[in-house]
Each structure stands twice: as C-alpha cells, then as structure tokens.
Amino acid sequence: MPSFTLHETLQKDCFVVGDFPLSQLLLNNESSYPWFILVPRVPDVQEIYHLPLSKQQQLWTESRQLSEWLMKHYQGDKLNIATIGNIVPQLHFHHIVRFQSDRAWPKPVWGAFPSVPYPTHIAQQSIQEARHYLQIK
C-alpha cells in the first residue's frame, strides 16, 4: 500500500504547521493573505468525493474547525475555501482569509499576483499561533 508523501510543490511553497487527525495543515508562504491548506494524509486522492465517507466527514470537521478559528483570529471580511488541483493533483483544500483591503480583493487570489514570502519570524509566529489555538502539532 503506498504511503502518504506531501507533493513536492506543496513542500516547496508551504510551511508544515502540524497534523489534524486526518489532514496535514500547511501555511502557504504567501504573506499577502492568511492562507492555510488542509492535505488529507491519504495517498493518491485527487477529489474530496474520492475519499471514504468517514474521511470526508473528518475533512469537513477539520475544515470547520480551521474556518472558525481563522475568521475569529484574523477578523477577515470573507473566507475563500476551495479544492482546485489543476496543477498539483494531490488533494489539498485551500482556506484563505480575505480582507476588503487586500491587494487582490475582490478577485480570487489564484494567479492574481506573485507570492510575497513571509519574513521568517512572522511565519514562525503564525505557525505557533495556529498550533496553539488549533491544538495540533
């Protein structure tokens, strides 16, 4: 049985925050928006509906926990959630906090602008906050 390995593009573009029961939580290294990604630790899955039903339910639970925390913590104007995966086929579930003042508003963030990487200390702070409040490691 194949084991789960994070896709190399996600490894390159993101920081690993920690593990929910099903998913690995990533912080996208794009400081323009709080942009987190859930990646179910299941090999060879491209679509949510391909997961066994119990894992779909767990993914929605994790999405809900993440969504509630993100909007409370960052006080965003809107949350954008999506699975796209046209380029990176490994199932990954975007959660992006949007502000009316952000540089891409009101457009979607994908392809809007080149990423602006985080200063290291700010990424580390965001990761520590997420681990603390979401109780993951």
- Contacting residues toward its own copies, per CB under 8 A: 46-49, 56-57, 60, 63-64, 67-68, 71, 78-87, 89, 98, 105-108, 110-111
Least separation in angstroms between residue 82's CB and its own copies is 3
How many angstroms separate the CA atoms of 119 and 94, rounded? 21
Considering the complex, state which of residue 31 and residue 63 has its C-beta at the smaller distance from its own copies: 63
Short-list 12, 30, 2, 18, CA closest to 88: 12
Residue 44 Rama label (left phi>0; alpha psi -120 to 50; beta): left
Considering the complex, state which of residue 49 and residue 137 has its C-beta at the smaller distance from its own copies: 49
Helix (H) or strand (E) holding 9: helix 8-13
Least separation in angstroms between residue 132's CB and its own copies is 20
Considering the complex, state which of residue 50 and residue 132 has its C-beta at the smaller distance from its own copies: 50
Least separation in angstroms between residue 121's CB and its own copies is 30
Least separation in angstroms between residue 46's CB and its own copies is 7
Q: Which two tokens mark 22?
A: 């099903």
User: Which residue in the block uniquely carries the two structure tokens 């990604």?
Assistant: 37
